[in-house]
Amino acid sequence: MGNRSIENAVMNALEDGVIVLNEQREPEFFNEKALSLLKISTAGELDYVLPVFLGNFDPKLFLSSATPAVRQKRIFEGEALIVSALRMPGKETEKILLVFNRLAHYKDTLPLFDDETVTASLLNTVMDAVNDCLIFVNNDGRIEMLSKAYADFLNVPREEAIGKHVRQIIENTRMDIVTKTGKAEIAQVQEIHGRKMIATRIPVFVGGKVAGAVGKVLFRDVDELNALYTKINKIEKELNLYRDEFKKANKAKYALDSIIGDSAVMVQLKEITKKVANTNSNVLILGESGTGKELFAHAIHNNSKRSGAPFIKVNCGAIPNELLESELFGYEEGAFTGAKKGGKIGKFKVADTGTIFLDEIADLPMNMQVKLLRVLQDREIERIGATTSEKVDVRVIAATNKSLEDMVSEGLFRLDLYYRLNVVNIRIPPLRERKNDIPILAQHLIEKISKNENVPVKAISQSTLEYLKSYEWPGNVRELENILERAINFLEDEVIIEPKHLPAKITGTKNMEFTRSLKETLENVEKDTIINSLILSGGNKTEAADLLGISRTSLYEKLTRYKIEI
């Protein structure tokens, strides 16, 4: 067979149509596929069809230009064809090689080629980029891919390893065995260069047959595994420690038994509290300052199905208005200048599945009342700077010593929020309305104070109790505890609290014994006055300073001087 016959056979075997043109647009060669694509059967027909197929294509103009090749889409006989024109050297002058085929053919063929190219490129990039020891061998056990990290670990040039049998490169390997068995070997010990390592080998299946195997070194030394275990164990212990500390810090401390009182009103109130605890309804606790509203909030949580979940306390009056939203709902990273890296979780999210206690709810500004209302209605929060909301399952217990109904009528509190909070209402009576509880309360408190201060106290005399019962207690139980603590500090060598240990405002008499200097007497009076102001202000230092007619700074100095803790 001559050279021309071989060329014709090769050209006719191609899937693309091929036509060779001279400058005069005359065909000098064509293959059978070209006739088929042009929908003709003889060479004579080509003279008539070719001008239509070429359209305005000018061979002379193409050959005179510097363009090496052009590609065009042409519509011929209602079908889209892709035509490529290329320069082709000739004996005397350049020719034009036209290569063309249906657009549909390229759409079917190119994605397969692209997918294989992209996949191969991706795998090679992964092998170059990762710091893991990775290898791929074909079903003959020859290395086709090897990561740089593994080549460095084996101390062998990667280019030399590619193509060689895996046993020539890696001692004690079983990669070739996995390609034969088709069974994965997970976390197996393998010794390389005298070091024990942990390796995993996984077969690769294509069309139901093993095409090769992938291997990965999980740990380059068993000591590395032990070090990782030690590190993880340490992290786990620290995490458990933080978890325990979080639970301790956000746990309700008091139960129903912590509510002291056997008067009819208190017995009834504890029964109501027990029933309320079994529901998920919002609770509004009302009562004067010092009556023990927080105590009831703790008891509700501890007697509920949420007792094992967090109990989060928030004093709405103690947090500056501009920080309230971030404290309650949290913020995203970069939400504002000074925002913590990683953002911050708000109190509502921390309390998820548990209870949040919003004390001094009346001090909540109007803009935050709107946001709280949405949480109560939709059971979802939105962090500052976030674009989506988060669902939360939180029971809300709110408390205040103010009349929310009066605030609603004055336009200071939203009516819809009031109704949302006031699903269950618990009103704690002031101490003056349950004076029969004073003896049992006093006994409980002196035992508590005696233990904390390490001062032995046997009892409180009956005459002292009578004085305590005759007092009106504007500061309620908190004031009673303060008075008893003061009395214990004045006991000296005595073990029974007598009327003389009580302040004059309780007994209505003044101690005429000049047992202390004028300086000590003045200091005691000043200390008592400061303590009384704090009781009357419910612990609010700004209000206490106003009552005393001094600055907040001066009040703090005196609190430090007299070691008064609030």
pLDDT surpasses 60 at 151 = yes
The answer to whether residues 287 and 417 belong to one domain is: yes
Write down the pTM of the prediction.
0.53
pLDDT surpasses 60 at 289 = yes
* Domains: count for the chain: 4
**Two tokens, residue 175:** 């990669």
Q: How many CA atoms lie within 13 A of 193 on its CB side?
A: 9
Pairing outcome for strands 311-315 and 355-359: parallel
**Least confident interval from 1-10, 472-481, 486-495:** 1-10
What pLDDT, on a 0 to 100 scale, did the predictor assign at position 1?
44
Last residue of a domain, one of 249, 278, 296: 249
Highest mean pLDDT out of 93-97, 109-113, 142-146, 402-406: 402-406
- Return the CATH number at 520: 1.10.8.60
What angle do the packed helices 541-548 and 552-561 form, to 10 degrees? 100
pLDDT surpasses 80 at 221 = no
Specify if 118 maps to a domain. Answer: no
Residue among 24, 2, 15 at smallest CA distance from 95: 24
- Return the CATH number at 201: 3.30.450.20
Q: How confident is the model at residue 436 (pLDDT cuts 50, 70, 90)?
A: very high
pLDDT surpasses 90 at 300 = yes
Name the more confident of 111 and 5.
5
Averaged pLDDT, 108-120: 52
* pLDDT tens readout for residues 230-282: 776 777 777 777 666 666 667 788 888 889 998 999 999 999 999 999 999 99
What pLDDT, on a 0 to 100 scale, did the predictor assign at position 28?
87
Domain span at residue 50?
3-108
Q: How confident is the model at residue 477 (pLDDT cuts 50, 70, 90)?
A: very high
What pLDDT, on a 0 to 100 scale, did the predictor assign at position 142?
92
Structural contact between residues 343 and 383, judged by C-beta atoms closer than 8 angstroms: yes
Own/partner pairs, 306-310, CB within 8 angstroms, 24+ separation: 306/353, 306/354, 306/355, 306/395, 307/252, 309/351, 309/352, 309/353, 309/354, 309/355, 310/246, 310/247, 310/250, 310/251, 310/350, 310/351, 310/352, 310/353, 310/354, 310/355
What pLDDT, on a 0 to 100 scale, did the predictor assign at position 509?
60
Main-chain phi, psi angles of 257, to 5 degrees = -65, -20
Residues 6+ apart with CB under 8 A from 267: 261
What pLDDT, on a 0 to 100 scale, did the predictor assign at position 47?
85
Which segments of 12-162 are extended strands (E)?
17-21, 27-30, 69-76, 79-88, 95-102, 133-138, 143-146
The answer to whether residues 553 and 404 belong to one domain is: no
Specify if 409 maps to a domain. Answer: yes
d(CA 451, CA 65): 105
The answer to whether residues 13 and 148 belong to one domain is: no
Last residue of a domain, one of 187, 219, 249: 249
What pLDDT, on a 0 to 100 scale, did the predictor assign at position 206?
80
- Return the CATH number at 321: 3.40.50.300
* pLDDT tens readout for residues 342-397: 788 889 999 999 999 999 999 999 999 999 999 999 999 999 888 888 999 999 99
Enter the DSSP assignment of 566: -
Helices vs. strands in the chain: H and E counts, helices first: 24, 21
Structural contact between residues 566 and 534, judged by C-beta atoms closer than 8 angstroms: yes
Q: How confident is the model at residue 555 (pLDDT cuts 50, 70, 90)?
A: confident
The answer to whether residues 264 and 405 belong to one domain is: yes
Structural contact between residues 139 and 130, judged by C-beta atoms closer than 8 angstroms: no
Pairing outcome for strands 424-427 and 283-286: parallel
